[in-house]
Amino acid sequence: MIYFRSDYSQGAHPKVMEALMKTNMEHTDGYGLDAHCEHASQMIRELIGIEDCEVHMMVGGTPCNVTIIAASLKPYESVIAVRSGHAYFHETGGVEATGHRIVAMEGENGKLTPELIDRAWDEYEDEHTPLPRMVYISQPTEIGSIYNKSEMKALADKCKERDMLLYVDGARLGSALTCRENDLNLKELASFCDAFYIGGTKNGALFGEALVIKNKQMRDHFRFMMKRQCGLLAKGRLIGVQFEALLDGGMDSIYFSMAAHANQLASELREGLSKMNVRFYSESQTNQVFPILPVEVVRELENDFFFYEWAPEKEGMIPIRLVTAWGTEKADIREFLEKTRKIMKMQE
């Protein structure tokens, strides 16, 4: 069985495991108050070129999203996001559990735009309506598309105009930054937003995300919020150690080479499928591919490959999601394409 199920189906990149083994018997203080977390944070500050920010080592993406939103908003304030955004779509109402509404908008190719933000504001009147105060986006989006530099800037400008905070969910940030079509680099991304996280779980770590908070108000007592929202790990140093390994070498680190590798293989999948005249559910440019295939083809493929069906069958066709990762191999792609070609031929 070949896995295109997710980018978190294996353990960690061998260099990450090596770092964990090497530091295993060290004694440190708990809860992220250790030299590894401090060192990893400093590496990140340098990478993004911003000294004046806080970096918090979080267990996962949902804790990042829920905690930063709960920490940043007053009770009557809301978040604007696209309906397919992870915080709305795939976190079982974790944000609402903290008392905040996500104003969910139909995105354009999975993306939020300044116009959509304005439209969300049309629902705001006065004390009878929640007050929009944060924009949540994922970079790349849940369906693999990216915000390029001018799109990011437009969102940042709109947020300033509306006195809103801009937060970027970077679960697959490496994938967005190493995407060939993208003209946005890490420093620019960091400069545009109030907070974002650098995702580890989906890019070669066992788990862990590095949440960067630039905005001073959002930082206030953040560790209290981490603990309250179940996001403070006892052996916090584990995340620090992993990010030291992931980011060792800066822009030449495995963090970026793993993401580039996954993107590359996804491109090959997309190209191979396009040649078979397959259409796609979304215009993804990163490590996710969403071909729409005949039901019978999908059923056959399921014998050898493990992946998600992404939406219900419609007129005999099903959109599936194929995810590549640091551990995906060229041979996996080749095999998938060959198998698909063969099945499709047989079905003709």
Does residue 331 interact with a second copy by CB under 8 A? no
Nearest Cα residue to 177 out of 156, 205, 157, 196? 196
The piece of 99-107, 177-185, 248-256, 313-321 that touches a second copy (CB under 8 A) is 99-107
Subset of 189-218 contacting a second copy (CB under 8 A)? 201-202, 206-207
Burial 276-305 (b: 16+ CB within 10 A, else e): eebebbbebbbbbbbbbbbeebbebbeeeb
Q: How many residues bind a second copy (CB under 8 A)?
A: 81
SS (H, E, C) the chain: CEECCCCCCCCCCHHHHHHHHHCCCCCCCCCCCCHHHHHHHHHHHHHHCCCCCEEEEECCHHHHHHHHHHHHCCCCEEEEEECCCHHHHCCCCCCHHHCCCEEEECCECCECCHHHHHHHHCCCCCCCCCEEEEEEEECCCCCCCCCCHHHHHHHHHHHHHHCCEEEEECCCHHHHHCCCCCCCCHHHHHHHCCEEEEECCCCCCCCCEEEEECCHHHHCCHHHHHHHCCCCCCCCHHHHHHHHHHHCCHHHCHHHHHHHHHHHHHHHHHHHHHHCCCEECCCCCCCEECEEEEHHHHHHHCCCEECEECCCCECCEEEEEEECCCCCCHHHHHHHHHHHHHHHHHHC
The minimum distance between CB 39 and a second copy, in angstroms, equals 17
Site residues for a second copy, 126-145, by CB under 8 A, read 127-131
Stretch 4-23 residues interacting with a second copy (CB under 8 A):
5-6, 8-12, 14, 17, 20-21, 23
x/- track of binding to a second copy for residues 150-169 (CB under 8 A):
--------------------
* 3: contact with a second copy by CB under 8 A: yes
Nearer to a second copy, 192 or 281 (CB): 281
Binding residue for a second copy, selected from 153, 191, 295, 327, defined by CB under 8 A: 327
Contact call for residue 342 and a second copy (CB under 8 A)? no
> CB 89 → a second copy: shortest distance, Å?
7
Segment near a second copy (CB under 8 A), from 3-11, 44-52, 154-162, 247-255? 3-11
Nearest distance, CB of residue 106 and a second copy, angstroms: 9
Q: Record the tokens describing residue 345, joined without a space.
A: 């031929």
Taking the complex as a whole, how short is the minimal distance between the CB of residue 338 and a second copy, in angstroms? Answer: 20
* Binder of a second copy out of 46, 96, 108, 161 (CB under 8 A): 96
Nearer to a second copy, 22 or 187 (CB): 22
Q: Which residues contact 280 (CB under 8 A, 6 or more apart)?
A: 270, 273, 289, 290, 291, 292
Is residue 304 a contact point for a second copy (CB under 8 A)? no
Binders of a second copy among residues 108 to 127 (CB under 8 A) are 122-123, 127
Q: Looking only at residues 21 through 60 of this chain, which bind a second copy when binding is defined by CB under 8 A?
A: 21, 23-31, 59-60
Which amino acid, residue 11? G
Residue 340: both structure tokens together: 């698909």
The answer to whether 101 contacts a second copy (rule: CB under 8 A) is yes
* Shortest CB 235 distance to a second copy, Å: 5
238, 273, 301, 322: which one contacts a second copy (CB under 8 A)?
Answer: 238
Among 37, 44, 48, 70, binds a second copy (CB under 8 A): 70
Query: Does position 314 bind a second copy by CB under 8 A?
Result: no
Q: How far is the CB of 214 from a second copy (least distance, A)?
A: 20
By beta-carbon proximity to a second copy, the closer residue of 94 and 294 is 94
